[in-house]
């Protein structure tokens, strides 16, 4: 392989490891912020994917057990296009040690 004037190799292919958010979700505050940002997206699949990332980071089998679900059921509930029941999502949130909170979006004019 030749080198450019800057010293970089020419013709070498760069490879990247796939990004996995679960690798970075290592504390409760970060997890809460990640889920809060995901729930703001109008596409519900974004929140379910984020919930899956957090469950993976915490251990899918343990979260499934703590939520009263089978591991495969948890994977299905959090899959793309899934429509899990509120009870299922709430059970997973509780197993993760987080909860939904309702806040005022923006003040209404009077």
pLDDT > 70 in the chain, percent: 91
CB 57 within 8 A of CB 96: no
Look at residue 109 and tell me if it is in a domain: no
pLDDT per residue as tens digits for the range 27-70: 999 999 999 999 999 999 999 999 999 999 999 999 999 999 99
Q: What is the pTM of this model?
A: 0.78
Q: Which of 24, 93, 91, 88 is nearest to 57 (CA)?
A: 24
Range of the domain at 63: 21-96
Look at residue 13 and tell me if it is in a domain: no
Look at residue 108 and tell me if it is in a domain: no
Look at residue 103 and tell me if it is in a domain: no
How many domains, in total, are found in the chain?
Answer: 1
pLDDT > 90 in the chain, percent: 65
- Count Cβ atoms within 10 A of the Cβ of residue 71 and give its class: 0-12 exposed, 13-18 middle, 19 or more buried: middle
Look at residue 11 and tell me if it is in a domain: no
Look at residue 38 and tell me if it is in a domain: yes
Q: What is the pLDDT of residue 60?
A: 95
Look at residue 68 and tell me if it is in a domain: yes
């Amino acid at each position: 392989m030749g080198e450019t004037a800057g010293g970089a190799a020419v013709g070498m292919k760069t490879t990247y490891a796939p990004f996995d958010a679960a690798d970075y979700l290592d504390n409760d505050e970060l997890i809460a912020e990640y889920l809060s940002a995901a729930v703001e997206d109008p596409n519900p699949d974004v929140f379910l994917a984020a919930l899956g990332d957090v469950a993976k980071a915490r251990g899918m089998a343990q979260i499934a057990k703590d939520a009263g679900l089978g591991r495969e059921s948890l994977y299905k509930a959090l899959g793309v296009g899934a429509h899990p029941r509120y009870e299922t999502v709430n059970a997973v949130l509780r197993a993760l040690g987080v909860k939904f909170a309702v806040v005022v979006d923006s003040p209404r004019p009077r």
